[in-house]
Each structure stands twice: as structure tokens, then as C-alpha cells.
A = this chain, B = another copy of it.
Amino acid sequence: MVSNPLVSDRNVEFLLYEVFDVEQICRLPAYQDHSRETFDLILNGARKFAREVVLPTYKPMDAEPAHMVAGGIKVHPAMKALYPKLVEQGGIAATRPYEVGGQQLPHTVATLVALYGMAANLSAVAYLGLTAGAAHLIEAFGSDALKAEVMPRMYSGEWTGTMALTEPQVGSSLTDVRTRATPTDRGHYLLQGNKVFISGGDQDLTENIVHLALARIDGAPPGIRGVSLFAIPKKRLEGSKLVPNDVHCAGAFHKMGWRGIPSIALNFGESGDCHGWLVGPPHRGISCMFQMMNEARLMIGMNAIATASVAYEEALEYARTRPQGRPLGSKDPAAPQVPIIEHADVRRMLLRQKAIVEGALSLGVQTARYADLAAHAATAEERRRALLLLDMMTPIVKSFSAEKGFEANALAVQVHGGYGYTSEYLPEAWLRDQKLNSIHEGTTCMHSMDLLSRKVMAEQGVALRVLGEEISGAIARASAAGVTPAWGEAVGRAVGVVGDLTAYLASLGMSGKVEEMMRHSVDYLDLFSTVAVSWQWLLQAAVAREGLAASRLPPGFYEGKLCAAEYWIRTELPRVDHLAALCRSGEGSYARMDPGWF
């Protein structure tokens, strides 16, 4: 376990410097202080820290979850010891500008830096990720007073932050938020309501926690346009003193995984004395919150990749060292057993994990690059294109990584055989962790609807056209590098399938058949994701060919990339025809199925 690299360093180097040429990003004024040297320094620090300091905390924290004692959450002692060290690593404000105390690190790099910590102990680093997102909301939309008082304490890790959206009756339907906010004449509102599933909603790591919560101001219009965003601290500052703010932990959920960070039920204003401060304009809470949700969604996608990655690395090591059985057709029972990686099906399971992990990761870094360009590219047109792609790829990175990551994690258990089912080994714990990622920050279904009804439809499908141009670039690069032509052709054809299907579904929507258009949205997401990941594998194959041509080392690394690309493009990409046929078929069994017929 100590030898688990969490994430392949060679692959990170490959993505940053060979596939996405991050040094190009450093030519943008915002990133001009950075260079490969600073990136490598940061990456190496993060790796060492994740492997030596963070990973050993994982198993104990999984075994003994944070729990409630006397009305408050007590975290694991290992978490208490780890938190100040995590803060010291400086991850909270890494991508934020210098003027708020950040390092102005490109997302392209920060994403990979964070990945190591997530792979080592996703719950532990989640305290910081949530804090970063919450502080960023205050940075973007908060009043000057909040920005002065609260934001620096969060970016420095002195206080943590949370995202308090959902309520017992609400789930994904944020329209139905009921928490109430009553204005006072002293600048704050009085909050009253109940929230559930608040990750890190209480802890004994820091003296204060700031909840970024959705609520309705008294008299607000019904529906989503009557929901506002508030900062609600656990304790409020009165002068320089922190006093309780009538925020109460009502209980902790017992979870299947992510056991190092509590998910709690939170009550605001049981005694009518819970102060909250409006963040952003009244009734515009959802659109403000979307900034954080989009960051959070990408973060969940990266968590999913990290969780699949660490399990893949563990399975790989196990398969290389566990002897069992003999080659097919071997007749000599006295011959020594071979490592299980020699069996074709074990290699299939490993290559499938590799294809999922490294395909999703490539897409994740591609998307992080779009985030950098959307904020800092030289021209307005470049920024606009990047933003379109960022928005379109966010549901893919989140949901593909969660859904296929779960499959990859199950395969890591399977490679371990009976041992994989025991907690003497870690794969079962990572499988439990992974399951949450298709649920929180928007279920897979919600993301499929976001993709199909918003992202690809906006402005007559401009995002899809821009994506098509990006993929054409990859096809050209692959062709120039000498990648098997059939692969580029297959990807090109699949892009055509997506385009035609999307146009067809749009026509259904425009003729009022919205139900029919949306019926197979999850299949559409599956199809779209499969094509997007094929694009990334084609790109990686191109760079692998370039690497082999340039005699970069080690050649086996590039050969492995070509095998994984072939695996994905030849075994997974062909599924698109079946999926497209489904989306078009109008197959209506479940639409027709009456709830009483089950």
C-alpha cells in the first residue's frame, strides 16, 4: 500500500508537457510567472506529501468515521493532525489571483496537483476543496465587508466553508428550497430552516465554518428566481469576538464511503438568532451558486478519476506480483504459477481501467485548460470558445468519471479476487467511495439533461461546432503522427453521429416533443462521453506516436498508450451506433410504463 503511486507521474508529465503543452499557457500574462520548473516543484511536493503523509490517514479514517458527540462533530484524530499540514500545502487558493493571496496557478496544473491528494484520501482534501469553492463565491459576489472579514480566513484555512443547498424535501429540485431569510435593518438577515447532506457541515478542526446556503427572502417570488445566496457562519464576529450564531448540527448521516468527512443535517435559527449575509443580488442565488457548483462538479469528476486511479494502481501492482494459475493450454501442473497479469482477462480488466482512468483524466485536463483560457486567453473570441467548451465538458467530466469510474473500481476489486472483497485490502473502500460521485453535485440524470437541453442546444449548437473543430485538430495531428488511419476515421464518423443525432433531437424539441427528445438523455450522455473520451485517446495516440518517433523514453509507456487507445476506439467507441439508434428509436417502454404496472 505504501508503494501505491496514487497517480502515474509519467502520465501527468505526458499530459502536461506533451499532450497539452502547458508551457504555452505560461505565455499568457496571467501565468507569466510560472514555468515548467515551478510546476514540477509544486507537483513533486504534492506527490511526496500525498504518498507519505496523506495516504496513511485513509484507512483509519474510513474505519472510524467522523461522528457526533454532544451536538458537534468530532473528526478522526488523524484528520486533526493532517489538517494544518494540508493547509500548509497551500492548495485552497492555488488558482486564485495574487491579490487575494493565491498563487495564480493555471487550472491545467492545479487540477493535477490536487489529484494526488484526492487519490490519497478524498475525504480529507474535501474540507479544503469545499472551502476554496465557498471562498471563491464570496470573492466573486460578496460585499466588501464579507470580503474583508471572511474571505481571507477561508483562503488561509483558518475557517472552512461549505455548500448548503439541499433540504429534506428538495433533493435535486432546488426550486423547492424553503429556508427563510428575514431582512433586518442591521445589514444581516435572520435565517431559519433545515439543510441535509452538508459535507463538512460541522467539524472540530477550525474555530469557525462559513456555510454558503440557499434561502428565500420573505416575500420572494416562488420558484427558482426567488432563491438567494447567503453566507451563514457557525459563529459570527461581534467585534473581535466569535459568538455562536444559532447554527446547529442535527445529526450525521452514516455513509457507505467518504467516511472521513461528515455529511450532516444542519438547522439554522432554532432560537431565531441565526444571522446570514446576502451574497450577490437578491433572488439570484442559483446563478451565483452555479459558479461554485460548476467548480464543484469538475472537482467531483477529478475525485472520481483519482479514486479510480488509486485502485487501478493497486490492482496493477497486485496483478504483477500475485502468482496464480498457468497459461492457457499449459499441460504441466508442476510448472510454477504465473503472475495473474499473464492471463488475458486480467490484462483486459487492467487495460479497461487504464482506458477509463487515463481517458477521463485527459479530458479533465483538457477541460481545466479551457477554464484557464476562458479566463485569460488573449482575445475575447478565444475566451468565448473556451467558455463554451468548458461549460459543455463539465457534465461529461463529472458524470463519465463517476459512472465509468465506478466500473473501473469494481474491476479493481475483481482483479483482487476474494481478497478484493475484504477490508484487509483497500479496493473495496475505494469502490464504496466512488458510488457517491454519480449522486452528489447533480445526479447523472441531471447532468444528462443539462447537456442535452442546455449545453449542446445553446445558440443553435455553437458549442458542438466548436468541439467539432477541436476534434478535427486532433484527427489531423493523429494523421500527421502516423496513427492507424482507421482510428481517426472512426472518431470523425462518431462526431458526425453526435451531430446528426443532436440535430434530430433538437428538431423534436422544437416541434414540442420535449419528452421524446429527453427520454434517452442518459444514453445521449453516455454516447457523447464515449466520443469525447475517444477524442482524448486519439490525441494521446498521436502524441504517443510523436514520442516514439522522437525516441522519447520509455518506449513501453508510449506502446501502452497505443494499446489503450486501440482498446477504447475499437471496443468502446463502436457502442455509439447502438446508443444513437436508441436515442432516435423513440423506444418508449419506460415512458409508457405506468407506475402501477411494476
Residues on A lying within 8 angstroms of B by beta carbon are 166, 169-173, 175-176, 196-197, 222-224, 226, 253-257, 263, 316, 319-320, 323-326, 328-329, 333-334, 337, 339, 341-348, 350-351, 354, 406, 410, 413-414, 417-418, 420-424, 428, 431-432, 435-436, 438-440, 443-445, 448, 514-515, 518-519, 521-522, 556-557, 559-560, 563-564, 566-567, 570-571, 574-575, 577-578, 581-582, 585, 587, 589-598
Indicate if the CB atoms of B581 and A564 lie closer than 8 Å: no
| Chain B residues closer than 8 Å to A339, beta-carbon distance | 595
Indicate if the CB atoms of A173 and B571 lie closer than 8 Å: no
| Chain B residues closer than 8 Å to A567, beta-carbon distance | 587, 589-590
Q: Quick one: closest B residue to A597, CB to CB?
A: B560
Indicate if the CB atoms of B570 and A173 lie closer than 8 Å: no
Indicate if the CB atoms of A344 and B423 lie closer than 8 Å: no
Assess A435 versus B418: contact at CB under 8 Å? Given A344-B590, A347-B593, A597-B556. no
Indicate if the CB atoms of B595 and A320 lie closer than 8 Å: yes
Q: How far is the CA of A345 from the CA of B452 in the complex (A)?
A: 14
Indicate if the CB atoms of B418 and A196 lie closer than 8 Å: yes
Indicate if the CB atoms of B422 and A333 lie closer than 8 Å: no
Indicate if the CB atoms of B418 and A440 lie closer than 8 Å: yes
| Residue in B342, B418, B587 whose beta carbon sits within 8 Å of that of A171 in the complex | B418
Assess A428 versus B256: contact at CB under 8 Å? Given A222-B334, A563-B597, A597-B559. yes
23 CB contacts below 8 A, A to B, read A169-B324, A172-B325, A172-B417, A173-B324, A173-B326, A173-B337, A226-B333, A253-B418, A254-B423, A255-B422, A255-B423, A256-B421, A256-B422, A256-B423, A350-B593, A350-B598, A351-B598, A414-B438, A414-B439, A420-B439, A563-B593, A570-B585, A577-B578
CB distance from A553 to the nearest CB of B (A): 13
Assess A255 versus B421: contact at CB under 8 Å? Given A522-B348, A567-B590, A593-B351. yes
CB distance from A309 to the nearest CB of B (A): 12
Assess A341 versus B595: contact at CB under 8 Å? Given A324-B173, A522-B348, A590-B347. yes
Assess A598 versus B354: contact at CB under 8 Å? Given A337-B169, A518-B328, A587-B570. yes
Chief secondary structure at chain A's binding surface: helix
Q: How far is the CA of A344 from the CA of B518 in the complex (A)?
A: 9
Please give 14 more A-B residue pairs, beta carbons under 8 A apart, in addition to A350-B593, A354-B598: A171-B324, A175-B326, A255-B422, A255-B423, A256-B431, A263-B418, A319-B595, A350-B590, A414-B444, A428-B435, A431-B435, A566-B589, A571-B587, A571-B589
Indicate if the CB atoms of B566 and A574 lie closer than 8 Å: no
| Residue in B173, B337, B345, B587 whose beta carbon sits within 8 Å of that of A325 in the complex | B173
Indicate if the CB atoms of A435 and B413 lie closer than 8 Å: yes
Indicate if the CB atoms of A333 and B421 lie closer than 8 Å: no
Q: Quick one: closest B residue to A521, CB to CB?
A: B345
Q: Quick one: closest B residue to A329, CB to CB?
A: B514
| Chain B residues closer than 8 Å to A581, beta-carbon distance | 574
Indicate if the CB atoms of B522 and A345 lie closer than 8 Å: yes
Q: How far is the CA of A348 from the CA of B448 in the complex (A)?
A: 14
| Chain B residues closer than 8 Å to A226, beta-carbon distance | 333
Assess A436 versus B414: contact at CB under 8 Å? Given A351-B589, A560-B598. no
Q: Quick one: closest B residue to A596, CB to CB?
A: B556
| Chain B residues closer than 8 Å to A448, beta-carbon distance | 345
Q: How far is the CA of A179 from the CA of B562 in the complex (A)?
A: 44
